[in-house]
Amino acid sequence: MKKVINVKNPRGSLNVKRLLILGLLLVTSISFAAESGKWESPESVEGTTTVSVEQAAELFNRGVPFLDVRNQRLFNRKHIPNAIHLDLKNGYSKEALMGLIQPDQELVIYCSGKKCSRSYRASTLAVHWGYTKIYYFRDGVIGWKTAGLPMTFADGTTRPATAKD
């Protein structure tokens, strides 16, 4: 037996209103999900110095260590030459970082780029652990590659990246 909503019945009107509200909530949720793809990492991290690609290249040329906090697969595919690797989600800890760099030493922390939160989170943790000379390289691998700077690839070669890379 079919249940028919009587428009004159106040209870039936209430069901229609509920359906409309649920529909609006669904549309809003879908819109929010679509917008979330536009997320970008913060432009700065308190206690660090945010650096541009040009500034990162100057630090690189001065011999300041770079820390790549992406996963192992991405690091193996390509990374900034001589970068230290500590996967933020698998191995990044105060003890691990202290074993590589002392809190008063300069360090550039990077990940994939503006759409990646790893360098932001790693930089925040490093500051919390007492590191005082952290450079937050927000543009990361994408910015470095786009600038035509050298990358080390899975085959061990170091060269400027191309569009195919």
pLDDT(55) > 80: yes
pLDDT(3) > 80: no
Average predicted confidence (pLDDT) for the chain: 86
Q: Domain 49-160 sits in which CATH superfamily?
A: Rhodanese-like domain (3.40.250.10)
Sorted by sequence, the CB contacts under 8 Å of residue 84 that are 6+ apart come out as 65, 66, 67, 68, 100, 101
Domain locations in the chain? 1-38, 49-160
Distance, C-alpha 19 to centroid of its chain: 38
Rounded mean pLDDT, 53-59: 98
pTM (2 d.p.): 0.78
- pLDDT, residue 164, reads 86
What is the C-alpha to C-alpha distance for residues 143 and 159, in angstroms, rounded to an integer? Answer: 15
Give the model's confidence band at 13: pLDDT under 50 very low, under 70 low, under 90 confident, else very high: low
